[in-house]
Amino acid sequence: MNSLIHLFKELYAYCTDFIINLANITGLSYYEVNFVIFIIIYPLLLIITPTLYIIQKLRLRTIKSSTIATTNTESKTSFNNIKTFNKRKIFISANLAWLFIIVLGTSRVLSESTNYYEYHLSRGDYPPEADSISIPIFRETFFAFLILSILLIFLNIFIFLTTRKTNLPTKLFIKADFFIVPVVLWELFFGFWLATSLFFFFYWFWIGYYIEGLITLFFTFILLNLRAGQISKYKQTTENASL
């Protein structure tokens, strides 16, 4: 554990030195360089890169359709043509993403706990006969790992229940022909979770946890997949349900 703590300290020191050297080269302050990189450039890249990918994918799909089609067909380069994952891809990708959350969350708790207890130790807040600070650090880190691992079980139960008897893959933004009671209930159910997911997406970016924000955005996409699967169970038009 000491070697892992040392590794995080070295990584943090290297990143800090890099920002300081960059500030000296550009003539900006340390805080200005952080603002430019993490508030301007990084969020722009996070938005522009997937946007360009989606645009290029839609263009390639349009070109492919136009070369194969022998009749005049209507080509729709819009979000309506985006398809969902199948059930296996949803399970695998969601579990891999959550495993990454477990590693990332545990590492953050380890780093923050270490900084907290080392700070108070350096101030002399703990008596000499007190136990080693590694004990509470390990306890808090293990507790975070345990909670995130338990949540992984609930995540799989949630996905299993929301993918039963669904028609996946289908169109991501599929619409129901008739808003009967089950459709309305499912829309409200997933609307709540989508709103919660988007809230945390903006919250993570607001406090500077950009990796967590990206993972939350991915789970927003997973929720849209699950919602499309449930809506596809009910009567759909050929345009909505066809792939």
Q: In terms of pTM, does the model score above 0.95?
A: no
Indicate the SS3 state at residue 171: strand
Helix axes 210-231, 42-68, angle to 10 degrees: 40
Which amino acid, residue 168?
Answer: L
For residues 177-202, one letter each, b for 16 or more C-beta atoms within 10 angstroms of the residue's C-beta and e for the rest, the string is eeeeeebeebbeebeebbeebeebbe
Q: What's the pLDDT at 5? A: 73
Where helices occur in the chain by DSSP H, the ranges are 2-26, 30-34, 42-68, 87-122, 134-163, 181-207, 210-231, 238-241
Q: 77 pLDDT exceeds 60?
A: no
Confidence of residue 94 (pLDDT cuts 50, 70, 90): very high
Least reliable range by pLDDT among 47-51, 185-189, 227-231: 47-51
CA distance 222 to 94: 7
Question: Could you give the C-alpha distances from 121 to 58, 116, 131, in angstroms and in order?
Answer: 57, 9, 11
CA distance 109 to 144: 7
Average confidence score pLDDT of the chain = 80
Q: What is the DSSP letter of 41?
A: I
* 22-39 pLDDT tens trace: 888 877 777 777 777 777
* 190-201 pLDDT tens trace: 999 999 998 998
Q: What is the DSSP string of 1-38?
A: -HHHHHHHHHHHHHHHHHHHHHHHHHT--HHHHHIIII
CA distance 59 to 209: 33
* 127-142 pLDDT tens trace: 665 567 778 888 888 8
Confidence of residue 167 (pLDDT cuts 50, 70, 90): confident
CA distance 32 to 43: 16
